[in-house]
Amino acid sequence: AEAKALFSVMGMTCSACAGSVEKAVKRLPGIREAVVDVLNNRAQVMFFPNFISAENIRETIEDVGFQATLIN
Ligand code: 9UX
């Protein structure tokens, strides 16, 4: 089955920031789609939980350099 995770992502100040988050998340295994909204400080990710967890995704966003919190 597929899961959805919405993250708060703080510290993105331009669309290139959002692009780097999207790219890093999409490179992970088990990701179906990632959409990052720089204006609202949000990242919405559709993924396959047999392959990856929301926490894995959150840590990847942090590794890019932004503070990420799972909202739901
Ligand atoms: Mo450009 Mo966005 O260096 O932080 S990618 S401002």
pLDDT of residue 15: 96
For the chain, the first-to-last Cα distance in angstroms comes to: 17
**Ligand 1 atom nearest to 19, measured from its CA:** 5
The domain that holds 25 is classified in CATH as 3.30.70.100
- Quote the domain boundaries for residue 24: 3-70
Tell me which residues have their CB closer than 6 angstroms to ligand 1: 13-14, 16-17
CB distance 9 to 68 below 8 Å: yes
Tens digits of residue pLDDT in 10-48: 999 999 999 999 999 999 999 999 999 999 999 999 999
pLDDT of residue 71: 98
pTM of the model: 0.95
User: What is the count of structural domains for the chain?
Assistant: 1
